Amino acid sequence: MSSVIANTTYFGVFLTIISYYIGILIKEKFKSPIFNPLLISVLIIVAYLCITKTKYDIYYEGAKYISYFLTPATVCFAIPLHQEMNKLKENKCAILIGIIAGALSSMTSVLAIALLFGLTHEQYVTLLPKSITSPFGYGVAEELGGITTITVPVIILTGVVGNIFGPYLCRLFKIRNRISVGLAFGSSSHVLGTSKALEIGELEGAMSSLSVVVSGIFTVIAASFFAQLY
């Protein structure tokens, strides 16, 4: 029976949506950011595929249609950015410096990890674009000779961690400036961080949206230089 269901055209779509909806219900029930809907949906899908012994290729054949919405969903982040355009103009220098600092910190941390754990060059460049959104990160890893099938999960994991622990870290280090909070989320945990920033406030979401784009472009340019350092 499970094989019949798995081979239906939109099996992956239904499984993904249902899993994510369950994640939302669990988060609303426990009221804790630790129960991230995306993380929960991933665990449910992995558990289902393992229990039913369904191949990932079969699941992806249906689930791939959801990825078509990635681009328009990302473009929608431009709406809060447009609404807060005056704030952007008033603080453009500080914002640009903050975004670049965030991107440099991310790549420097990967370099430090590579040196500390003795990673190969291939593993190093695979992790290098971990803090930028998937379309940028996939292209960077592919161009530098990394393992793209590992890069994407690492990017997602980075986003989930930022989404969950970002608010705690901001409180821990007493980061209260709304623009700084938004830039931190966007430059460290890309789109998933931006979704959390939007929950905090429109200004935070707008700054995070800007950070996702600018840090992605900057990382694409700077990654080639960092790749030569190890």
Query: pTM for the complete prediction?
Result: 0.82
Q: pLDDT tens string for the chain (230 positions)?
A: 445 455 566 788 889 999 999 999 998 888 887 888 888 998 999 999 899 888 888 888 878 888 778 777 767 767 777 777 787 788 889 899 999 999 999 999 999 999 999 999 999 999 999 999 888 898 899 999 999 889 988 998 999 999 989 999 999 999 999 999 999 999 999 888 988 998 899 889 889 988 988 898 899 999 999 999 99
Say how far apart CA 53 and CA 198 lie, in whole Å.
38
pLDDT of residue 21: 94
Residue 146: CA count within 13 A, CB half-sphere: 26
Q: What residues does each domain of the chain span?
A: 2-70, 78-227
Alpha-helical (H) ranges within 33-129 are 37-52, 56-63, 70-75, 78-83, 85-90, 92-117, 121-127
Q: What integer pLDDT is reported at residue 3 of this predicted model?
A: 53
Give the integer Cα–Cα distance in Å for 226 and 230.
8
**pLDDT given at position 1:** 44
The one-letter code for the residue type at 118 is G
pLDDT at residue number 181: 94
User: How much is the pLDDT for 123?
Assistant: 94
What's the pLDDT at 8?
Answer: 64
What is residue 15's three-state secondary structure? helix
